[in-house]
Amino acid sequence: MTLAEQKRKYFGTDGIRGRVGDGVITPEFVLKLGWAVGRVFAKEHRSKILIGKDTRISGYMFESALQAGLSAAGVDIYLLGPMPTPAIAYLTRTFHAQAGIVISASHNPYHDNGIKFFSGEGTKLADDIEHEIEAMMDQPLVTVESNLLGKAYRVDDAAGRYIEFCKSTIPSKVDLSGLKMVVDCANGATYHIAPDVFKELGAEVIAIGDKPDGININQQCGSTEPELLQAAVLEHKADLGVALDGDGDRLIMVDHTGKLVDGDELLFIIAKSQQRTGTGGTEIIGTQMSNLGLEHALQRHDMTLHRANVGDRYVMQMMKKMGGVVGGESSGHIICLDKTSTGDGIVAALQVLAEIQQTGDSLNELSSAVVKYPQRLINVKIAKQMDITNNSDITAAVKAAENKLGDTGRVLLRASGTEPVIRVMVEGRDAALTNQLADELADVIRNLA
């Protein structure tokens, strides 16, 4: 069994996350976690670790707990304050820190929180490091001698550094003057950054979701609830809208008609832009949930879609394996490896805006190349574990559905990793047939559960 296959005690696919006060998302646990991380990253020389957070109220509590644990381990701490997750990845690299820590539950509501980590290269931690941290959690917390305690420093110019980085990811000749846009910051970590990035590049910006109070993060706003943005784009007669999530690593856009432009369409626009400028490749990485319309649109432009498992960690792994430059998920996690080391909503938005300005095409026109197929997703609750890959009844039902769809659709069945549910997804050109086949497959699983 490889390290990646070993069951983790605390870490999920993207750090540690849960409801504040429940399970491990407590001050006591996070204090010990800070110490364990500090011990793992402590070197012979003085080590330093960056801490950033989103705007949820519990961030203050967990920031203090992490700071105490890291100091006890003899590691210096650089406090960034509220910052987008991708900003922490970037700053960890530029500060030459041993690691970066993000206190965030991303697109979840305020009562959740989590801790996730970046390596010194601004990438997700390797499996062996996560296992080492978990092993250290089982050791007694021992404080270093007082003269070796870590010191804490406040980084006052973190936002400015990241704003300049974001602007540097598009050609200097790109001017957003004349572009009117609405920017929804989800009352999250980008509230004091995203509007300034676009304004400084010349755009007229109407900011919404930019008044966090510790509780309203992701609340009826942001990339997971874009209705507010759609209404604002129409109300202000804007050219387009940008919606980020609470920690700034997801992006959804809205065109001038109020139509949503999701991660699949954004991925196509960026891949096509890179093809036009000769800066990208032909291998584009999506996930099992990427719409078949994206795959066919890429094929028409001599590009190939490779499907990773759902999760930006797996997208990144396949990008490195295939030599891909751009990859992403339908939810709006877009990774531009030629620009940065992780998914970044602001950076992805800038690539799309640059393509709009350089081609003269609207967002509506650029996204129209992806004709999305109707997709039906049904979550079937099960009472016990079920091996859907080796069940003859399920295999036969899937094969029959695939035969009816031919090359105009696809079927995907997968077990949820977090709840007793089998997810049934059918996608096809014919909406009625798609819905019928999804219902039939769901019934097969219900009868066997």
Tell me, what CATH number does 442's domain have?
Answer: 3.30.310.50
pLDDT at 407: 85
- Dihedral angle computed from the Cα positions of residues 188, 194, 199 and 205, in that order, rounded to the nearest 10 degrees: -50
CA dihedral for 270, 166, 13, 59, sign (positive or negative) = negative
Query: Which one has a higher pLDDT value, 14 or 436?
Result: 436
If one counts the domains in the chain, the total is 3
pLDDT at 6: 59
The Cα–Cα gap between 283 and 278 comes to 13
pLDDT at 3: 46
Active site residue 64: no
Lowest mean pLDDT segment, chosen from 14-23, 222-231, 236-245, 378-387:
378-387
Token digits for 178?
Answer: 């004349």
Same domain, residue pair 168 and 302? yes
User: Residue 95 phi/psi, 5° resolution?
Assistant: -85, -5
Identify whether the C-beta of residue 404 lies closer than 8 Å to the C-beta of residue 433.
yes
pLDDT at 5: 43
Where residue 1 falls among pLDDT bands split at 50, 70, 90? very low
Q: In which element (H, E) is residue 323 found?
A: none
* Domain housing 276: 162-367
Q: Is the pLDDT of residue 384 over 80?
A: no
The length of the chain in residues reads 449
Could you say which of 106, 290, 331, 367 is catalytic? 106
Same domain, residue pair 307 and 218? yes
pLDDT at 414: 86
| β-strand partners of 78 | 50, 153
Q: Is the pLDDT of residue 351 over 60?
A: yes
Average pLDDT, the chain: 94
Mean pLDDT on 152-164: 98
Is the residue at 307 inside a domain? yes
Is the residue at 398 inside a domain? yes
Where residue 397 falls among pLDDT bands split at 50, 70, 90? very high
Mean pLDDT on 384-401: 88
Structural domain ending residue among the three candidates 367, 383, 404: 367
Mean pLDDT on 377-394: 87
Q: Categorise residue 204: left if φ over 0, alpha if ψ from -120 to 50, beta otherwise.
A: beta
The Cα–Cα gap between 63 and 51 comes to 7
Same domain, residue pair 133 and 169? no
The Cα–Cα gap between 337 and 321 comes to 13
pLDDT at 417: 63
pLDDT at 418: 60
Same domain, residue pair 205 and 294? yes
Lowest mean pLDDT segment, chosen from 40-49, 82-91, 436-445:
40-49
pLDDT 10s digits, 74-132: 999 999 999 999 999 999 999 999 999 999 999 999 999 999 999 999 999 999 999 99
Where residue 385 falls among pLDDT bands split at 50, 70, 90? confident
pLDDT 10s digits, 54-66: 999 999 999 999 9
3-class SS at 212? Answer: coil
Same domain, residue pair 230 and 296? yes
Q: Is the pLDDT of residue 433 over 80?
A: yes
Report the predicted TM-score, pTM, of the whole model to 2 decimal places. 0.92
Mean pLDDT on 177-202: 98
Radius of gyration of the chain (CA): 23
The Cα–Cα gap between 17 and 22 comes to 10
Mean pLDDT on 210-221: 98
Q: Is the pLDDT of residue 278 over 90?
A: yes
Nearest residue to 373 (alpha-carbon basis) of 331, 400, 410: 410
Is the residue at 274 inside a domain? yes
Mean pLDDT on 181-195: 98
Q: Is the pLDDT of residue 48 over 50?
A: yes
pLDDT at 80: 98
Is the residue at 441 inside a domain? yes
User: Residue 156 phi/psi, 5° resolution?
Assistant: -80, -20
Same domain, residue pair 131 and 207? no
Output the domain CATH number for residue 31.
3.40.120.10
Is the residue at 9 inside a domain? no
Token digits for 328?
Answer: 């992403």
Mean pLDDT on 149-153: 97
Q: Is the pLDDT of residue 241 over 90?
A: yes
The Cα–Cα gap between 370 and 266 comes to 10
In terms of Cβ atoms closer than 10 Å to its own Cβ (0-12, 13-18, 19+), residue 396 is: exposed
